[in-house]
Homo-oligomer: A and B are copies of this chain.
Amino acid sequence: MKFCSDCGSLLEFATPAGDDRGRFICRGCGAIHYQNPRVVVGCIPEYEGRILLCRRAIEPCYGKWTLPAGYLENGESVSACAVRETREETGACVDDLTPYRLFNICHINQIYFMFRGRVADVGEGPGKESLEVRFYAEAEIPWDQIAFRVISETLQTFLRDRRNGSFPFGIGDIGSAIGQGIS
């Protein structure tokens, strides 16, 4: 971020009067350009005990398996986003959405909001963002081929809760992988 999106002047990074942290401030018009975390919304699409995963056709993690998820758009509710992303990435329609998990991913300025959902219709198969889609029973999940840690953690928590017969809403943290040897 170098130029003001309102007037095109150069920005400086400084703490505005009355604030307590640095912001990008325009040297021309004085506009303050705040930067805030983005929200990713996803879904665990389930049908008769199996979970619908999709294999990524895009980077990062091309070829790895994931749950459908993507950025919340302006004007969109979180539930609508979960339904849209599931349809776009797996072709399937989900209903009976239940909020399930929020993950802070502070080092990349994201929060993930995951729903549980019931596959109502498998639809026409994967969209352009997926190479293939497949229903996985618990024992079949390809743990060494899961795209992101937030997805592994969501799946592990879900399977544990399913064994316990209860799915309380909860919050988790995904830390930076630096020094942890995990991706």
The interface of chain A, by Cβ under 8 A from chain B, is 1-8, 11, 18, 21, 33-39, 71-79, 99, 102, 104, 106-107, 109, 111, 113, 128, 169-171, 173
Write out the residue numbers on chain B whose beta carbons fall within 8 Å of the beta carbon of A169.
99, 169
Whole-angstrom distance between the Cβ of A40 and the nearest chain B Cβ = 10
- Closest B residue to A58 by beta carbon equals B18
- Label chain A's interface by main secondary structure: loop
**Could you list 13 further interchain pairs (A-B, Cβ under 8 angstroms) beyond the known A3-B8, A35-B74?**
A2-B5, A3-B3, A4-B5, A5-B5, A34-B71, A37-B73, A37-B74, A37-B76, A39-B111, A75-B109, A79-B171, A99-B169, A169-B169
Contact B8 A6 (CB under 8 A): no
